[in-house]
Amino acid sequence: MNLMNRLLRRSRRSEMGLLDYHRRIWLQVTVALTLIFLYAPIVTLMAFSFNDSKRNIVWRGFTFKYYEKAADNAELIEAFVNSLTIAAVSTFVSVILGALTAYVLWRFRFRGRSIFEGVTALPVVIPEICMGVALMVFFARTGFNTGNCVWPLNLSAITIAHIAFSFPFAAIVIRARLESFNRELAESAKDLGANEFQVFRDIVVPHMKPGLIAGGLLAFTLSLDDFVITFFTSGPNTLTFPVKIYSMVRFSVTPEVNAASTILIVITVIITALALRLQNRNNMLQAG
Amino acid sequence: MTSDSAENKPIIEIQNVTKIYGSDVKAVNKVSLEVNRGEFFALLGPSGCGKTTLLRMLAGFETPTEGAVIIDGQNMGDVQANRRPVNMVFQSYAVFPHMSVAQNVGYGLKIDGVSRKEIGKRTDEALELVKLGGLGGRMPDELSGGQRQRVALARALIKRPSVLLLDEPLSALDAKLREAMQLELVRLQKTVGITFVIVTHDQAEALSMANRIAVMEAGVVRQVAGPTELYENPASRFVADFIGQINMFEGTANQAGDGKVKIGTPSFGEVVLDGTATGNVAFAVRPEKVNISRSKPTDAGIIAAKGHMTDVAYYGGFSNVFVDIGAGAPVLAEVSNSTRDAGPGYTQGDEVWVSFKPSNTLLFNH
């Protein structure tokens, strides 16, 4: 009580406006600490990828050496290409499946709808390790062994696994977007002569678009950096980027790992920025 | 005038239509209505009276539980919304946000596979008709609310429907714009000659625009009549009360012969009116037909009572004065402020007489 009064008196004494929170020292400090906590490890990792030293401890001068080394590492490049391929296919399929799931749940009332909705959201809450083991057992029992096929078919199992855990995320995002849909828009199109499919194509999908982009972005990043599920479903001959980095780290954390990680981060940031820009433009078009 | 039988048949026939939601919620209960060709028809009622449900059954978004909807001689039983010869203007206007004004207006024609050249020509015509000429390239978020509504109108009219349905089209506009739009809708309806069916809860809107009005309450049509008939000759207490304002007085009636009825009232003494009634009755008079005077009115047969003024509400062109005559609710009188100087000339607490002619009263049996 006493402290409260003192605080109140102090804020009254200061000449700050009611909403001038950003001028308070403690708030600025909190924000700064949060940013450091979040980004210091990443910035350090990126900085040390330019470090001219075999060990990642002391700064010994600037170099691009480890980027060249990473680029020369055929296995690393192969893993990288694999990861991008898996992410691209998985994103494409996840967005379509997610959009259809979201549309069905939003548009129709049917028996068992809430159960279906719950089951769809399950992969989001199931621990990844369980999902990984389950998928591994599933592929083993069904004899779905693509590890020795030609590229890119050897990635089928991993891709299927990635689609299985990322399409529910896309569905949730798209479903949320659909909630803001004014049903009179669909009725109006129907009133003007459009059939069910034309309403979906001309009116519903354009409204979904920001959700499709956001859902796709989510699916892409989920797939690109997934380790646990990939680890359980990849054969001995199929490497993805996170799995490869993990195996490199097991020997020693060299700046080469930092360089590879930095490239991954830069790609993710660029794609995120692009997607956000697209979404903003869409939102501006849809406003009002 | 053509005597073609199709011309004289009503364009919409609603036959014994009932709509039940869930197991027993009767949104519309055994409604039968006919709308004539070229008419401006209004469905009027308080919210939840079933008027919007009825309109949606005309558009094809709801299916009647019982009964039939016939439009232009064709039973709509199996006809989907996208195949009906009607178009609708929605309450939210439902202008497609990702399409330009011209794309919005031309959408119906595009779906019908009309050539691009023809779409362009008819879109321009439609936009001209609703006074949006030259705005075809705009996006909906660059338009005002009133302009968006015009887009919705043009979009619905471009397909040349037999009937245009309007669901509370003016409720989102501000008062000034609403009045302008009322006049414009009437002008538009006369220009295109299409039958308009409008749903509204605003009785002033219905009275000023429609040729005929159906007053609905709790899923039932209470009265279908022209505006004057509805206002001056309401069929029931509900309609009298719902349309405009009215003073209602209770009394006990005795038949007096000669088609006269004597009503004993607590505040006016014995009142003699035309009509037939016995037992508990009510008679009513509209506020603008009530006179206020300082001295006792002496006209023969006039109904009068003395009271004191409780409130005066000034509205500019007229004032509403409330006079307590010692029984029931205060009497409401509308006094025209026809000179600049004094307003109604009465203040709170003044002793005044309220009076009205027997011929201006309405008699309701219970």
d(CA B270, CA B279): 14
Candidate from B60-74, B216-230, B252-266 with smallest mean pLDDT: B252-266
Phi, psi of B353 (to 5 degrees): -105, 135
**Which residue of A lies nearest to B140 if distances are taken between CA atoms?**
A288
Average pLDDT, integer, range A24-35: 89
Per-residue pLDDT at B168 exceeds 80: yes
Give me the pLDDT at residue A239, please.
85
Give me the pLDDT at residue B216, please.
92
Helix A205-224 and helix A255-286, axial crossing angle in degrees, nearest 10: 170
d(CA B152, CA A194): 16
The answer to whether B267 and B325 have CB atoms below 8 angstroms apart is yes
Place of tokens 């009322």: B182
Query: How does DSSP classify residue A62?
Result: B
Pairing of strands B40-44, B212-217: parallel
Using the Cα atoms of residue B344, residue B349, residue B355 and residue B360 in order, give the sign of their dihedral.
positive
Q: In what order do the strands lie in the sheet with B12-21?
A: B25-35, B12-21, B66-71, B74-75
The answer to whether B163 and B85 have CB atoms below 8 angstroms apart is yes
| Cβ–Cβ below 8 Å for B97 and A285 | yes
pLDDT band at B1 (very low <50, low <70, confident <90, very high): very low
pLDDT band at A45 (very low <50, low <70, confident <90, very high): confident
The residue among B174 and A158 whose pLDDT is bigger is A158
pLDDT averaged over every residue in chain A: 85
Give me the pLDDT at residue B225, please.
92
The residues, ordered by sequence, that sit 6+ positions from B140 with a Cβ below 8 Å of its Cβ are: A288, B95, B96, B97, B99, B101, B104, B148, B151
Using the Cα atoms of residue A174, residue A179, residue A180 and residue A183 in order, give the sign of their dihedral.
positive
Per-residue pLDDT at B56 exceeds 80: yes
The answer to whether B170 and B178 have CB atoms below 8 angstroms apart is yes
Pairing of strands B66-71, B279-285: unpaired
pLDDT band at B173 (very low <50, low <70, confident <90, very high): confident
Pairing of strands B303-314, B318-324: antiparallel
- Give me the percent of chain B exceeding a pLDDT of 70: 97
The question of ipTM being above 0.90 is answered as: no
pLDDT digit string, tens, across residues A60-69 = 888 888 899 8
Tell me the DSSP string of A186-202.
HHHHHHTT--HHHHIII
pLDDT digit string, tens, across residues B190-238 = 988 999 999 999 888 899 999 999 999 999 999 999 999 999 999 888 8
Residue B6: count of CB within 10 angstroms of its CB: 10
Give me the pLDDT at residue B207, please.
92
Using the Cα atoms of residue A103, residue A109, residue A114 and residue A115 in order, give the sign of their dihedral.
negative
pLDDT band at A248 (very low <50, low <70, confident <90, very high): confident
d(CA A76, CA B352): 100
| Cβ–Cβ below 8 Å for A188 and B97 | no
Candidate from A39-48, A129-138, B223-232, B291-300 with smallest mean pLDDT: B291-300
Give me the pLDDT at residue A19, please.
67
Which of A268-277, B24-33, B172-181 has the largest mean confidence?
B24-33
Give me the pLDDT at residue A265, please.
87
Average pLDDT, integer, range B261-278: 81
Tokens representing B13?
A: 């026939």
Q: From the CA atom positions of chain B, what is the Rg in Å?
A: 25
| CA of B307 vs chain A CAs: smallest distance (Å) | 53
Average pLDDT, integer, range B7-36: 88
Helix B101-111 and helix B145-157, axial crossing angle in degrees, nearest 10: 20
Q: Residue A83 belongs to what H/E stretch?
A: helix A74-107
d(CA B109, CA B125): 13
Give me the pLDDT at residue A1, please.
54
d(CA B298, CA A198): 74
Give me the pLDDT at residue B342, please.
63
pLDDT digit string, tens, across residues A161-194 = 999 999 999 999 999 899 989 999 999 999 999 9
Nearest residue to A271 (alpha-carbon basis) of A209, A222, A221, A211: A221
| Cβ–Cβ below 8 Å for B82 and A195 | yes
Pairing of strands B12-21, B269-274: unpaired
3-state secondary structure chain B: CCCCHHHHCCCEEEEEEEEEECCCEEEEEEEEEEECCCCEEEEECCCCCCHHHHHHHHHCCCCCCEEEEEECCEECCCCCHHHCCEEEECCCCCCCCCCCHHHHHHHHHHHCCCCHHHHHHHHHHHHHHCCCCCCCCCCHHHCCHHHHHHHHHHHHHCCCCCEEEEECCCCCCCHHHHHHHHHHHHHHHHHHCCEEEEEECCHHHHHHHCCEEEEEECCEEEEEECHHHHHHCCCCHHHHHHCCCCEEEEEEEEEEECCEEEEEECCCEEEEEECCCCEEEEEEECHHHCEEECCCCCCCCCEEEEEEEEEEEECCCEEEEEEECCCCCCEEEEEECCCCCCCCCCCCCCEEEEEECHHHCEEEEC
**Which residue of A lies nearest to B107 if distances are taken between CA atoms?**
A192
How many contacts, defined by CB atoms under 8 Å, are there between A and B? 72
| CA of B155 vs chain A CAs: smallest distance (Å) | 8
Tell me the DSSP string of A216-261.
HHHHHHHHHT--HHHHHH--TT---HHHHHHHHHHH---HHHHHHH
Torsion, Cα of B142, B146, B150, B155 (10° steps): 60
Average pLDDT, integer, range B324-337: 85
Residues of chain B contacting A184 with CB distance shorter than 8 Å: 90-92, 94
| CA of B91 vs chain A CAs: smallest distance (Å) | 8
Give me the pLDDT at residue A59, please.
82
Interface test with B, best of A192, A282, A286 (most B CBs within 10 A): A192
Nearest residue to B159 (alpha-carbon basis) of B52, B83, B57: B83
Tokens representing A27?
A: 């708030």
pLDDT band at B108 (very low <50, low <70, confident <90, very high): very high
Average pLDDT, integer, range B31-42: 92
pLDDT digit string, tens, across residues B2-19 = 444 555 788 999 999 999
Candidate from A34-43, A277-286, B41-50, B272-281 with smallest mean pLDDT: A277-286
Is A188 part of the contact surface with chain B (CB cutoff 8 Å)? Answer: yes
d(CA A161, CA A152): 15
pLDDT band at A53 (very low <50, low <70, confident <90, very high): confident
Residue type at B49? C
Per-residue pLDDT at A2 exceeds 70: no
Residue type at A35? L
Candidate from A72-81, A144-153, B217-226, B295-304 with smallest mean pLDDT: A144-153
Give me the pLDDT at residue B314, please.
86
Per-residue pLDDT at A4 exceeds 70: no
d(CA B147, CA B131): 9
In angstroms, the first-to-last Cα distance of chain B is 45
d(CA A70, CA A50): 12
CA B108 distance to own-chain centroid? 30
d(CA B72, CA B151): 26
d(CA B288, CA A195): 53
Using the Cα atoms of residue B141, residue B95, residue B136 and residue B114 in order, give the sign of their dihedral.
positive
The residue among A12 and A136 whose pLDDT is bigger is A136
pLDDT band at A149 (very low <50, low <70, confident <90, very high): confident
Per-residue pLDDT at A7 exceeds 60: no
Average pLDDT, integer, range B127-147: 90
Per-residue pLDDT at A269 exceeds 80: yes
Interface test with B, best of A182, A184, A188, A199 (most B CBs within 10 A): A188
d(CA A280, CA A214): 11
Residues of chain B contacting A203 with CB distance shorter than 8 Å: 96
Specify the 3-state DSSP secondary structure of A77.
Answer: helix
Give me the pLDDT at residue A267, please.
83
**Which residue of A lies nearest to B60 if distances are taken between CA atoms?**
A191
pLDDT digit string, tens, across residues A204-244 = 999 998 889 889 988 998 898 899 999 988 877 788 888 88
Average pLDDT, integer, range B47-69: 91
